[in-house]
């Protein structure tokens, strides 16, 4: 039996994973974590001593989806963009459950070679069972 030389490409294998969801993460929003996050941005608005600033939820999960196939493409990751939708505020003491899904995967030719685009969606659900924040991320391998 002759070996299949041309297996599915990395892009095909990732396209087949569209719909995949990562493990659920459950995290309590801690005062010290929130303070360090605001210090890192350099935002000293006293409002953030109780409430999370708009991009804080990303610190509750991983930035890039744990898809080993993606690491076979190109030399590294770039972040293409982030879109957030805010439904409820997030405060210290809230317990946030989140999971990230792969919603699209496609390839584009850039100036210096191919780019692999992975589009993810993450919902951050609070302890009341309500979605507080939605994030749509564009992560690129190049």
Residue among 8, 66, 81, 93 that touches other proteins (CB under 8 A): 81
Q: With binding defined as CB under 8 A, does residue 108 bind other proteins?
A: no
Say how many C-beta atoms besides its own lie within 10 A of residue 62's C-beta.
13
What CA–CA distance (Å, rounded) separates 12 from 88?
37
Which two tokens mark 42? Answer: 């350099």
Among 15, 18, 20, 84, binds other proteins (CB under 8 A): 84
Do residues 117 and 138 make contact, with C-beta atoms less than 8 angstroms apart?
Answer: yes
Q: Give the pairing type, strands 77-86 and 131-141.
A: antiparallel
Q: Say if CB 67 and CB 17 are below 8 A apart.
A: yes
Stretch binding other proteins (CB under 8 A), from 8-16, 65-73, 78-86, 90-98: 78-86
The least CB distance from residue 13 to other proteins, in Å, is 22
Is 63 a binding residue for other proteins by CB under 8 A? The answer is yes
The answer to whether 114 contacts other proteins (rule: CB under 8 A) is no
Residues that bind other proteins (CB under 8 A): 33, 36-37, 39-43, 45, 47, 53-55, 58-59, 61-64, 75-86, 112, 136, 138, 142
């Amino acid at each position: 039996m002759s070996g299949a030389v041309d297996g599915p490409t990395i892009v095909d294998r990732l396209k087949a994973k569209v719909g995949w969801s990562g493990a659920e993460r459950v995290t309590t929003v801690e005062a010290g974590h929130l303070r360090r996050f605001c210090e890192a941005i350099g935002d000293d608005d006293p409002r953030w001593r109780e409430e999370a600033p708009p991009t804080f939820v990303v610190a509750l999960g991983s930035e890039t989806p744990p898809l080993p196939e993606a690491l076979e493409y190109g030399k590294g990751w770039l972040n293409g963009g982030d879109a957030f939708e805010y439904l409820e505020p997030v405060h210290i003491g809230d317990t946030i459950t989140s999971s990230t899904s792969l919603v699209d995967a496609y390839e584009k030719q850039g100036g210096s070679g191919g780019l692999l685009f992975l589009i993810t969606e993450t919902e951050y659900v609070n302890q009341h069972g309500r979605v507080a924040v939605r994030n749509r991320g564009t992560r690129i391998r190049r």
